[in-house]
């Protein structure tokens, strides 16, 4: 896209997102930061097309803790926590749901990926109290730089740098740098360093 068109969309984004940003501030006061972030994020997720990506980047740039340059947040995706950090050139596909997560630069997240704030949001130890009333623990999930998280994955543990998570995987244990993991639960199926130089045909 031409630089002049990009600049115009950036300028338009600054105006378009303004009412949503104001709404976020009101919601934050009345219902708290997390619910405000999710509520505004759901609305923003419906902005279509390339301009929608610009608008979401601009809006979330004001809401979340860190927004890198040239981040793409695709249609249908919702960031639910203001604590989220996204590094430069992070790409997030369509219909993803992100909780408290830090994603480092150049990482690709495919469509329909879910990264909740860990896997222990609800306590399950007491049998006399409904789980919805038992205290759980939320934690920040870290996805390193230059990772590829395949479609439909659920990531509940940290992923190192330069990793691949196969499509449809459920990550329950930390993944070491350069590992290729797949399945439910995700297991190591390879190491990118051993595949270096190989070509897919
Ligand atoms: C993981 C992936 C990158 C392949 O990596 P790879 O190192 O080349 O793995 P291979 O194809 O050599 O497969 C190795 C083994 O893992 C298995 N495997 C590969 N991907 C898998 C997956 N997603 N889930 C479960 N098992 C998988 C293979 O069946 C094979 O098993 P086998 O040894 O019993 O035959 C690829 O399968 C994948 O999932 N890509 C993500 C695609 C995607 O989500 N695209 C979205 C648009 S960007």
**What's the pLDDT band for 1 if we cut at 50, 70, 90?**
confident
Segment 164-178, tens digit of pLDDT:
999 999 999 999 999
Atom number in ligand 1 closest to CA 190: 7
Tell me if 150 CB under 6 Å of ligand 1: yes
**What's the pLDDT band for 185 if we cut at 50, 70, 90?**
very high
Pairing state of beta strands 97-98 and 78-79? parallel
H or E segment and range at residue 167:
none
Cα of 121 vs centre of ligand 1, distance in Å, is 29
- Percentage of the chain beyond pLDDT 70 is 99
**Within a 13 Å sphere around the CA of 92, how many CA atoms are in the beta-carbon half?**
34
Burial of 154 (0-12, 13-18, 19+ CB in 10 A): buried
Distances (CA, A) of 9 to 61, 75, 132, 139: 15, 17, 43, 35
Burial of 16 (0-12, 13-18, 19+ CB in 10 A): middle
CA 40/CA 25 separation, integer angstroms = 10
**What's the pLDDT band for 201 if we cut at 50, 70, 90?**
low
Mutational test site, ligand 1, from 114, 150, 155, 189, max ligand atoms within 8 Å of CB: 189
Atom number in ligand 1 closest to CA 200: 8
**What's the pLDDT band for 14 if we cut at 50, 70, 90?**
confident
User: Terminus-to-terminus CA distance in the chain, angstroms?
Assistant: 30
Tell me if 190 CB under 6 Å of ligand 1: yes
**Cβ(92)–Cβ(77) below 8 Å:** yes
pTM, 2 dp = 0.94
The first and second tokens of residue 184, run together, are 């439910």
Q: How big is the chain by its Cα radius of gyration, in Å? A: 18
């Amino acid at each position: 896209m031409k630089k002049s068109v990009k600049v115009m969309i950036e300028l338009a984004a600054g105006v378009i997102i303004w009412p949503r940003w104001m709404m976020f501030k009101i919601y934050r006061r009345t219902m708290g930061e997390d619910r405000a972030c999710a509520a505004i994020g759901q609305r923003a997720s419906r902005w279509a097309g390339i301009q929608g990506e610009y608008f979401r980047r601009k809006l979330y740039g004001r809401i979340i803790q860190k927004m890198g340059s040239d981040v793409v947040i695709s249609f249908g995706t919702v960031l639910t926590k203001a604590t989220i950090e996204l590094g430069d050139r992070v790409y997030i596909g369509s219909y993803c749901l992100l909780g408290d997560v830090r994603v480092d630069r150049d990482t690709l997240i495919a469509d329909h990926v879910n990264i909740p704030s860990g896997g222990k949001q609800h306590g399950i130890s007491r049998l006399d109290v409904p789980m919805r009333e038992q205290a759980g623990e939320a934690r920040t999930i870290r996805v390193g730089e230059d990772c590829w998280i395949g479609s439909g994955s659920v990531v509940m543990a940290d992923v190192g740098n330069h990793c691949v998570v196969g499509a449809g995987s459920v990550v329950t244990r930390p993944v070491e740098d350069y590992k290729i993991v797949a399945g439910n639960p995700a297991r190591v199926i390879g190491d990118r360093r051993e595949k270096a130089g190989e070509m897919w045909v």
